[in-house]
Copies of this chain bind each other. A is one copy, B any other.
Amino acid sequence: MSIVLGRNQYGKAENHVVRIYRDSARHEIRDITVSSALRGDFTDAHITGDQARVLPTDTQKNTVYAYAKKVGVEQIEPYALALGRHFVDDTAPVEGARIEVDEHAWERISVGGEPHDHSFVRKGQEIRNTVVTIDGKGDNQSAWVVSGLRELVVLKSTGSEFAGFLTDGYTTLQETRDRVMATTLSVRWRYTTTDVDWGKAYAGIRRILVEQFASVHSLALQQTLFEMGKGVLEARDDVAEVQLSAPNIHHFAYDLERFGLENNNEVFHADDRPYGLIQATVQRDDAPAAGRAGETSWSS
């Protein structure tokens, strides 16, 4: 028996890059947070402390900012692909890379009804995300793109039931035919190609997710999530699987009868913790293997 180094990676996390496009008076803005991680045979760095094969995380940081100029960040996926490929292709000991990018959206401030040229307000709502995984050198190189969103908070005030469930000696929950359903969505979808109209794909998938949430009469959050994932897969041939993780943010109708007031699902206490947590993957039965992109998952 001996003690050995197992899986490892290292990089620079959460580089907060703001990129302004100012080729005309009408500026554009991209606001991203970038995390790089490099993989390869770094045994010496760990065991003897020899750093000869280690490209510093400080260098990775410089590269993250430099690539925001060199290749730009109009869309986060091609930026992440270029960055990941650079690290693997141009650094001899690096055999793989994982690049994660969060994007915060902004919109133009309106002044007198006209969108302003160079003033913006943070849009709030969800964070767009991508994780690009590059594995291998030259002809053996694979690239996966898993994109997604998180912190998209949705609620429906009716059209949600929960009944007919399994019971045991610890069950006290009553069935309900009408409840508030609310969640903060985290969704990732894995593309089968790197040839995608990224911005359009994101907008389309986001639209399907919220439309399905709104439209499906829900018998359980599980069912709603499945229909959301299914809607995405039906619309896009280039998506192999959709992972959804959704806390069930409980809204408890407040007992107002004690005070002589009716509460017909009008006044709720929105509780913080504990919360239900429903996690599901919806996939094609002939989906290609996820490879190391499979590590990017809600199930940790």
A226 partner residues in chain B, CB cutoff 8 A: 5, 46-47
A57 partner residues in chain B, CB cutoff 8 A: 248, 276-277
Contact present for B125 and A124 (CB under 8 Å):
yes
Contact present for A251 and B300 (CB under 8 Å):
no
A contacts, CB < 8 Å to B: 1-22, 27, 29, 31, 35, 37, 42, 45-59, 61-63, 65-66, 68-70, 90-91, 93, 106, 109-112, 116, 118-125, 152-159, 162-173, 180, 210-211, 213-215, 218-220, 222-223, 225-226, 229-230, 233-234, 241, 247-248, 251, 254, 256, 258-259, 261-286, 295-300
Taken together, the copies of this chain in the complex come to: 4
Q: Which of B31, B70, B119 contacts A261 (CB 8 A)?
A: B70
Contact present for A263 and B69 (CB under 8 Å):
yes
A118 partner residues in chain B, CB cutoff 8 A: 156-159
Q: Which of B2, B6, B35, B273 contacts A277 (CB 8 A)?
A: B35
Q: Which of B166, B220, B234, B256 contacts A55 (CB 8 A)?
A: B166
A58 partner residues in chain B, CB cutoff 8 A: 171-173
Contact present for A163 and B59 (CB under 8 Å):
no
Contact present for B13 and A247 (CB under 8 Å):
yes
Contact present for A273 and B272 (CB under 8 Å):
yes
Contact present for B65 and A168 (CB under 8 Å):
no
Contact present for A18 and B270 (CB under 8 Å):
yes
Given contacts A119-B214, A158-B27, contact A276 B17 (CB under 8 A): no
A122 partner residues in chain B, CB cutoff 8 A: 124-125, 152-155
Given contacts A6-B281, A154-B122, A223-B47, contact A275 B13 (CB under 8 A): yes
**A70 to chain B: closest residue by CB:** B261
Q: Which of B13, B15, B52, B259 contacts A169 (CB 8 A)?
A: B259
Q: Which of B14, B50, B121 contacts A273 (CB 8 A)?
A: B14
Q: List 7 A-B contacts (CB under 8 A).
A: A2-B285, A13-B274, A42-B222, A51-B162, A62-B172, A111-B211, A119-B154
A297 partner residues in chain B, CB cutoff 8 A: 295, 300
Contact present for B276 and A13 (CB under 8 Å):
yes
Contact present for A166 and B256 (CB under 8 Å):
no
A274 partner residues in chain B, CB cutoff 8 A: 12-16, 35, 61
Q: Which of B66, B165, B247, B267 contacts A68 (CB 8 A)?
A: B267
Contact present for B13 and A277 (CB under 8 Å):
yes
When chains A and B are docked, how far (Å) is the Cα of A40 from the Cα of B250? 24
Given contacts A124-B125, A281-B5, contact A171 B56 (CB under 8 A): yes
A300 partner residues in chain B, CB cutoff 8 A: 295-298, 300
